[in-house]
Structure 1
């Protein structure tokens, strides 16, 4: 029997879970459109939902998190200030067209540089609900999140645009002109991490991705891995300062493994959370609200 339908709906991704009475996953759907594609459909987000999980709509409450609640999503919800936990998110659910939407979080809203997240808060709550400890959380992606949880609550976070900057440098600058595809080089990546941890201006160090290739000290099919390592190495070196306690990486396998490798190069241990944190977080928030 279906007790809850949970959805993690991102900019370019869609994942839905049909869950049973104990929160167990009965079925997974992961081939739906992200919000950009869904919003462009003639029937919009409702059509996208019907096309992907229409057979289950009406059988159980539906709860969704992620960029679906952003300005480009189905319904824009207000950000919830820190600190927050599952109970706070449950109390702030927005019901719209039969879907309960989990809002995002905002850090330092009145300060000089406020920060926001949508979706990652649910993944962190999922980890904590499963018995995970607090400490430092790293959620790699186009816009990586570095978050801290304490006492079962999300208390701080910041965003680093490493993934987007890598794509822009690779595709739209002179650095990409010498790059060639290859099987992937862990050695080049770790070499980049070592360069990324060094002091000095990052924008100056980035140019080494070109000069090392020009001096034939970096093969064309290693440049991208080196550049990736350099950017991630700088991010980890900066973000891990005064880390203290445990470090948990939440994210897809290949990218999470890269960040774990970068921590290792820097002499630090980081654990990769098991998959399913978003699904577990959605269940916990729904349970707190009495939906499951």
Structure 2
């Protein structure tokens, strides 16, 4: 392996804001991967300001890359950049024996204690509905989710919700029991910082959940319920063909549907896609060759105002 350390690297135009981190390049001859590509590890010792970094990798042409973080914008499933955080870029598919629960959308309402314009503003009371998905390998029962405000600019009144049972590849929301919080003051960066703590029988995970004020975008989706993104794959499991139906918000751009095998290899990707469309997959790759039975992952990627979103469904080909 080859280790490169960057010590006390200053931000552009902010000499007092500095980070210390390492980039570790692993030789695939010693650390093998299914594709033969070497793994890359980013290891952060000190993160002074994780909201104004750009983190990712790109190839030698500088035209193809993988973006993890840009100006406080990242995927729903991405962890916040903090001291001690380690990022691993690999082609090894995850093996998840536990439930894998994470938020895929939210709906904000200020109709109860606000001006009913669906934009959170200081002084308003906000109802919050969150949709969770389970992309793990086992059903999640009695899912408890707690909402915490971490910047002191909001007071959460109703913070604990039981989401019930979420089956594998299933979804659940708290529309019958919305979270409720009051915005006490205006944060300096116009973003309210929340943590969403998801627990179930010994399993626990925490997701950073920013909510923008005055229409400033955070990470999460803030659309009406009818415009929440959706990705359905039926029947699942399948033997001959599967209908993949997807719907992204009306302002979504650069919609891309891809299918990967369990080793993380891209096997199929339709050329031209439009919103609210169906695609029938017959279990063959882009060259028309029939694939072997097993687990595959359908991913829907799209952008809203320059922010990338990803939905994933696991399907079983028999």
TM range (shorter): under 0.3
- Greater relative contact order, per chain length (Cα 8 Å cut-off, separation 6+): 1
Alignment TM-score, normalising by the size of structure 2: 0.25
Alignment TM-score, normalising by the size of structure 1: 0.26
Q: Which has the higher strand share?
A: 2
